[in-house]
Amino acid sequence: MPADLREARQAAVRAQFDRLGVEALLVTHPPNVRYLTGFTGSSALLLLRPGSTTLVTDFRYATQAPLEAGPSADVVVDQVHVWDRLARHLGAMQVTTLGVEAHVLTLREAERLTAAARCRLVPTSGVVEELRAAKAPAEVAAIRAAAALAQEALAAALPAVEPGQREYEVAARLEHELRRRGSEGHPFPTIVASGPRSALPHARTSARELGRGEWLLLDFGAQVDGYCADLTRTVVVGGRADGRQREVYGVVEEAQRRARAQVRAGMRGVDADALARDVIRGRGFGDAFGHSLGHGLGLEVHEAPRLSPTAEAPLPAGAVVTIEPGIYLPGWGGVRLEDDVHLAPGGPELLSDGRVELVELA
């Protein structure tokens, strides 16, 4: 990550200190630390003050932290306890009002800080996350690369899928293909759900055997340079789709294509959600689409913004979002189709392949 980009991001955080009423901000959420410094380790306490940035970590990252953070932060390595070192640092700097990420900091950690550093903690929320919502060109490129990798992995895994295999086997093959092509990890547990289990929006992959002519729903992701892609495809295994399957699939496909073509930066999240929801409701399946249309995508697989029936905030320009409508009919099965879209200034830009035509693995 270029140092100037990190410096600009840190400056944007510091510009909010007066509004927040703080002298400094402690960042402990790992994706936020990475966004601001480039450091990827699991032990990281990042302190931003006017004119200085200090990263406190432990012995495991004594070599890695300076290499990744470079000039973006002064790295302090503590051999014993990072929280005690941070508290001593806060005391030496005479910080009396410290902003903390309230959604991350535990009560135990907060008590330790107030006792040792004798500073007042000010809860904050979304300070860095709001900055992360609008993606720089390099971030968009990483998500596009992750999506391409994921699509290649799926294309390699699907031809081997057949009735009688277990969901675990399909997931293992797909994850193997993802890793073989360079995915840094799995942004979330791969979902492979077959038959009636495809009606579970967040099913856990199981030992169930795939049946002939059944739905097979695959929700999976890839990571490139820390950035996530998130895709879902639903196919028919071992036969041709019947009339009802074609009907339900066609509704979801129409809703997904409409939403990904018409979503725009500046529209409210609720209005983006309605692009797909209106199609599904108009075909009589409104009650079967119970989750949001999509979410932001970046260093985390779920981040700002939200595309949902309750999201009143406008979608920021530059955000990358998922478009993933679905219909779920308990006891029968479900269909979900998901692609990744960049909300570019000139309109929506598809980062994944958008190939949502019905696939029958006959």
- Domain check: are 199 and 241 in the same one? yes
Q: State the DSSP string of 74-132.
A: EEEEESS-HHHHHHHHHHHHT--EEEEETTT--HHHHHHHHHHH--EEEEE-SHHHHHH
Residue 301's pLDDT is what? 97
Residue bearing the bigger pLDDT, 88 or 32: 32
- Domain check: are 138 and 10 in the same one? no
Give dist(CA 296, CA 165) in Å, integer. 34
Q: Kindly report, residue by residue over 85-105, the tens digit of the pLDDT.
A: 898 888 888 888 999 999 999
CATH code of residue 79: 3.40.350.10
Residue 71's pLDDT is what? 94
Domain that holds residue 7: 3-131
Under the banding of pLDDT at 50, 70 and 90, the label for residue 3 is: very low
- Domain check: are 110 and 155 in the same one? no
Under the banding of pLDDT at 50, 70 and 90, the label for residue 243 is: very high
Number of domains in the chain: 2
- The share of the chain scoring above pLDDT 70, in percent, equals 99
Q: State the DSSP string of 185-209.
A: --SSPPEEEEGGGGGSTTPPP-SPB
The model carries a pTM of 0.95
Residue 116's pLDDT is what? 75
Q: Residue 90: CA atoms inside 13 Å, Cβ hemisphere, count?
A: 30
- Domain check: are 18 and 141 in the same one? no
Under the banding of pLDDT at 50, 70 and 90, the label for residue 2 is: very low
- Domain check: are 110 and 207 in the same one? no
Span 287-307, mean pLDDT? 97
Give dist(CA 221, CA 175) in Å, integer. 9
Give the tokens for residue 242.
Answer: 């019947």
Under the banding of pLDDT at 50, 70 and 90, the label for residue 151 is: very high
- Domain check: are 237 and 321 in the same one? yes
Q: State the DSSP string of 128-156.
A: HHHHHHSPPHHHHHHHHHHHHHHHHHHHH
Residue 362's pLDDT is what? 85
Among residues 109, 131, 153, which one ends one of the domains? 131
- Domain check: are 77 and 183 in the same one? no
Output the CA torsion 156→159→162→166 (10° steps): 0
Among residues 131, 147, 164, which one ends one of the domains? 131
- Domain check: are 148 and 249 in the same one? yes
Give dist(CA 275, CA 287) in Å, integer. 16
Residue 313's pLDDT is what? 96
- Domain check: are 291 and 199 in the same one? yes
Give dist(CA 331, CA 310) in Å, integer. 29
Classify residue 175 by burial, with Cβ atoms within 10 Å: 0-12, 13-18, 19+.
buried
- Domain check: are 138 and 127 in the same one? no
Residue 27 host element (H or E): strand 24-27
- Domain check: are 341 and 218 in the same one? yes
Q: Which of 111, 118, 117, 106 is nearest to 84 (CA)?
A: 117
- Domain check: are 8 and 98 in the same one? yes
Q: Kindly report, residue by residue over 42-61, the tens digit of the pLDDT.
A: 999 999 999 999 999 999 99
In this model, does residue 24 exceed pLDDT 60?
A: yes
Q: Kindly report, residue by residue over 175-205, the tens digit of the pLDDT.
A: 999 999 999 999 999 999 999 999 999 999 9
CATH code of residue 241: 3.90.230.10
Span 329-345, mean pLDDT? 97
Among residues 89, 108, 131, which one ends one of the domains? 131
